[in-house]
Structure 1
Amino acid sequence: MMRPSGLGSCAPARRAVTVTLEPPGPSRWDEPVGILVSGLAPEQPVTLRTSLRDEKGILFGAHARYHADAGGQLDLARAPSLGGSFAGLEPAGLLWAMQPEKPCTKLVKRDVQTPFTVELEVLRGHEPDAGRLLGRAALERHFLAPGMRRERVRAGRVRATLFLPPGPGPFSGIVDLSGIGIGLMEYRACLLAGKGFAVMALAYYNYEDLPKSIENLHLDYFEEAVNYLLNHPQVKGPGVGLLGISKGGELCLSLASFLKGITAAVIINGSVINTLGTLHYKGGTLPPVELDLNRLKITADGFADTVDILNSPLGETDQKSFIPVERAESTFLFLVGQDDHNWKSEFYANEASKRLQAHNKEKPQIICYPGTGHYIEPPHFPMCRASLHAVFHRPVVWGGEPRAHAMAQVDAWKQLQIFFHKHLGGEKGIVPPTL
């Protein structure tokens, strides 16, 4: 029988699926983002998938399975993941759970003047059997805040980048030191400057005309950098802060112990004994502690575990490499991953605390994070389980459980800002975002 002219098909109309982001436009990498999917069928099963390519073209991705609510909406702030790269109520899980397709790859941002673009896709059904693409959106995640100034520093021997917040200033100053193998990395300094500080990302080796190794490091280079920051017209004194992770955290302890003008220092998984090279200052030296490579362990998947190659407890021969933290006039905050497999960061933080208190110095604040590995980064950076070690030239494990590590990064980012605002000052009223 012929259908009367002008009448439509009996097939149900296809719903228009939309993805809404909050904030709706570009956002900064360390800020939370809300994700709402509308136009789904009631209780419809869907898979959400995120992906990005880093600056070397390596693909990172995550996925999670969900059910829409009775109204056909999916709000990641209210709907738990039913499985995939993570499970449970994790509004930012599709960011922090991303993993590389190429093993032993750490997500870093080398050019902070360009954003990372995270592609978000909504697929019908549940992976691995997810079907048609229903909707998509792009999350443009920036590092430079609007109005921020980025100054290349080439003053004397100093090789650095200074980030200044919008406004007339002056601002409290912070020197940011990365770990080994990095050269000059700007993304953490850039994000922190967006919270009201003048932050200088300082290279100390393997960059331009700086030494190619850390076998011999000279504290007068760091002293020159600290003085440059203190004398900058946009930086207020009387002292500056230090922020360092891994070898950078260890160096921050040395800078605070030997140099003037240091008011507050945040040490992320650093060592209180000098490692991997000799430290020189004013005719004196601090030798590196000896490593016992016989204690190197190999995991079931062939990665090296270096956590036991340094002595704990410390032996008599280690004392000559102990950084004399009792000389410091700085206030300290130690941020510790209790599953750090690079070295025993909690042990070293406690040893520093004992040494300070034994010399009638203020007890430092120590915040420990269970299930957290070595690389505690700003929020939303995926946990790096293993990557190539710049000294051992082989893949090593860094420790951590992805969810616990992600939650620790959010809290550590908040805690270090509170610490610096308290001890250095800064723009009042700036509250770091929470998830």
Structure 2
Amino acid sequence: MIGTDSHFLNTSQNHHQVNVCSTVPAACGQRDALQTPRLSTMSQTVPPVLSVHPSRSLVDEKLKVLVENLPPGSPVTLHSLHRSEDEHYWEAYGHYVSDHRGIVSVAEDSSVGGTYTGIESMGLLWSMRPVPGSRKGLRLRKMNVRSPMLFNISVYNGLITEGFREQTPLASALIERWYMAPGVQRIDIREKGVRGTLFIPPGPGPFPGLLDMWGGGGGLLEYRSSLLASRGFASFALEYFNSGELESAELEFSYFENAFSIVKDHPQVIPDKIGIFGLSLGSIMTVYLAAESTIVKPLCCVCVSASHFYPPGKNLHGVYEVMTMKPHMIRVDENGHHAWRDMGLEIIKEPSYRINVEKINCPMLLVNGLDDQNWPSVECADEIAQIMSAAGKGDLVTRLHYPDTGHLIEPPFSPHFRATKFKTATGKQKVILLWGGQTKPHSDAQEDSWRKILSFLQHHLYSRETPKARM
């Protein structure tokens, strides 16, 4: 193991207040988006005050956004702006009318228009979308978890739907959202041929462990593991192939067994309290490890958009080849987005491709969206539950199914991505994949499922209360 980082922050939670005369820090990279030559038409002796609490928080914590000192009955627009690490701008906004006291509370008042409507305390984050004119198929993901995501929250006079760069805000606030809590250790892993990043929670430990695996997009994604460590679980974000390089990876089953052993053998991990967390292709490996490995004995498994599909005798490259062996069944919608669901339905009909899930002896949480357009994950979950029940193990399966929810069920308050650019694992093609879901119900599913995932992990991996990390 090499390259251990410890991460410490100032944990102040004071309100972050900025009035119209304030400047946005240049570090946010958004000064140009908020500076304009024109002044607001709203005129009063005491300027409006915008407060966001906490100003520094973990990404799964809720915010309280409050605007005060407005004239009663004033129409205003609350707007959020974020510049991603790949330098694309994302925004969300809601329309409000101040009450008789001249106050707008996002947690208590309804948005009457914008990228979200109704009482939505976190709508300024989960309804974010690329600003007009951006490239198609973008996806917002945090790659460097050692730095925060910065958001400018601003309030504007009137009900605005565009041209925010040409408007002067009445007040603004800059907030930080973190995946990695103070005291979490980040450890680069390069041993036994395995690569990834292990995150250790703050405190003396030892802690329950998790092997965390993402899907067919490849690469090293750390943000879910760092958030899990912030919630008390030592989590190993496993990199098992780079984007577009699956053909050269030729990964065998032993790679994943070695990764599990690395978590188990770490001195800060409780060796008999380790689970596996997988999404999409990662969930296939999760199910296969739990069913077939004589080395890996997880105490529990979380499978998001799960499948029990694994052709016998194949390495990971071979699995992916079979998954995509019927390209003529890919459906292309009116926007040119590729839906793989029908192709998957045909492939999973082959009985020999099914994992022997009746061998699994640990509790499983299956999280699925009923509008998954990428893979027939709900049908797979149905069959997993049926097989386990027939084997007398039905009590081991817990299922969460969400209507109007797609394939990519992320940590809470992440934007919804119905379709994004995707480089196939063999690197032969770049397409825009249709994942499915509708913004509001998909976002509700992300919030609800994360809470239940943490509860599931707490119940099965902890015999004491999980440490509560805060910024």
Residue number among 319, 340, 343 corresponding to 2:351 in the alignment: 319
CA distance in 2, matches of 1:67, 1:34: 17
The answer to whether residue 371 in structure 2 is matched with residue 334 in structure 1 is: no
Residue 48 of structure 2 aligns with an amino acid whose one-letter code is V
Greater Cα shift, 133-142 or 387-396? 387-396
Q: How big is each residue's C-alpha offset from its partner over 1:249-277, in whole Å with a ceiling of 9 and x where there is no partner?
A: 11111111122321100000021112799
Answer yes or no: is 1:89 the counterpart of 2:91: no
Q: Given the alignment of the two structures, is residue 21 of structure 1 paired with residue 55 of structure 2, yes or no? A: no
Task: State how many pairs are aligned.
Answer: 415
Q: Rate the CA distance shift 1:410–1:432 in 2: closer, same or farther, 3 A.
A: farther
Q: Which residue pairs with 1:240 in the alignment? A: 274
Distance 1:355 1:102 in 2: 44
Q: Is the counterpart of residue 344 in structure 1 residue 376 in structure 2?
A: yes
Q: For residue 290 of structure 1, report the CA deviation from its aligned partner.
A: 6.2
Q: What is the Cα deviation at residue 132 of structure 1?
A: 4.0
- CA shift in 2, pair 1:140/1:12, >3 Å: closer
Matched-pair identity in % = 32
Equivalent residue letter for 1:105: L
Distance 1:313 1:206, change over 3 A: closer
1:155-210 deviations in whole A, cap 9, x for unaligned? 12110111111111010000100111231100001011111111110111118xx9
Greater CA drift, 288-297 or 49-58: 288-297
TM-score normalised by length of structure 1: 0.89
Number of the residue aligned with 1:389 = 422
1:178 and 2:214 equivalent?
yes
Q: Deviations over 1:45-84 (max 9, x none)?
A: 0011111011110111111110011111111011100001
Tell me the equivalent position of 1:300: 334
**Structure 1 equivalent of residue 289 of structure 2:** 255
Contact 1:171 1:426 in 2 (8 A): no
Farther-moved stretch of structure 1 (145-154 vs 12-21)? 12-21
The corresponding residue for 2:458 is 421
Q: 1:203 aligns with which of 239, 257, 261?
A: 239
> Which of the residues 413, 416, 426 maps onto 1:380?
413
Q: CA deviation at 1:214?
A: 7.7
Q: Provide the C-alpha distance between the structure 2 equivalents of 1:98 and 1:276, rounded to a whole number of angstroms.
A: 42
Contact 1:216 1:278 in 2 (8 A): no
> Partner amino acid for 1:18?
V
| Alpha-carbon contact 1:372-1:401 (below 8 Å) kept | yes
Q: Determine helix, strand or coil for the equivalent of 2:170.
A: strand
Rate the CA distance shift 1:28–1:53 in 2: closer, same or farther, 3 A: same
Deviations 1:108-165 (A, max 9, x none): 0100000110111111001138854200011111111011111111112110111111
For the 8 Å contact 2:114–2:161, the answer to whether it is kept is no
Amino acid at match of 2:334: A
Is the Cα contact below 8 Å between 1:170 and 1:233 reproduced in 2?
A: yes
Residue 86 to residue 122, structure 1, CA distance change in 2 (3 Å) = same
Q: Is the Cα contact below 8 Å between 1:379 and 1:406 reproduced in 2?
A: yes
What secondary structure sits across from 2:322 in the alignment?
coil
**Structure 1 residue 54 and structure 2 residue 84: aligned?**
yes
Which one has a bigger Cα radius of gyration? 1
**2:97 corresponds to which of 63, 67, 92:** 67
Query: Structure 1 CA distance, aligned partners of 2:348 and 2:106?
Result: 48
Please state whether the residue corresponding to 2:289 is helix, strand or coil. Answer: helix
- CA separation in 2, counterparts of 1:400 and 1:324? 30
Distance apart, 1:382 and its partner CA: 0.2
Between 1:422-431 and 1:222-231, the stretch displaced more is: 422-431
1:4 is aligned to: none
Deviation at 1:21, TM superposition (A): 1.3
Query: Is residue 217–residue 278 contact of structure 1 (8 Å, CA) maintained in 2?
Result: no
Give, in whole Å, the separation in 2 of the partners of 1:177 and 1:371: 24
Distance 1:21 1:106, change over 3 A: same
Partner of 1:169: 205
Bigger share in helix: 2
Residues 173, 241 of structure 1: 8 Å contact kept: yes
Q: Distance in 2 between matches of 1:123 and 1:275?
A: 56
User: What is the alpha-carbon distance in structure 2 between the residues aligned to residue 138 and residue 230 of structure 1?
Assistant: 40
Q: Which amino acid aligns with 1:327?
A: K
Q: Which amino acid is 1:193 matched to?
A: A
Measure, in 2, the Cα distance between the counterparts of 1:409 and 1:287.
30
After the TM superposition, which residues 37-48 of structure 1 pair with which residues of structure 2 at under 5 Å, given as runs?
37-48=67-78
Structure 2 residue identity aligned to 1:199:
S
8 Å contact kept, 2:232–2:466: no
Corresponding residue for residue 359 of structure 1: 391
Letter in 2 for 1:192: L
Q: Distance in 2 between matches of 1:344 and 1:384?
A: 18
Q: Is the 8 A contact 2:94 2:115 kept in 1?
A: yes
Instruction: Report whether the alignment pairs 1:126 with 2:137.
Output: no
1:360 positional shift: 2.5
Structure 1 position 298, deviation (Å): 1.6
RMSD: 2.6
Instruction: Give the CA deviation at 1:216.
Output: 3.8
192-201 or 323-332, which deviates more: 323-332
- Check 1:122–1:272 CA distance in 2 against 1; reply closer, same or farther (3 A cut): same
Could you say which residue in structure 2 is the equivalent of 1:5? none
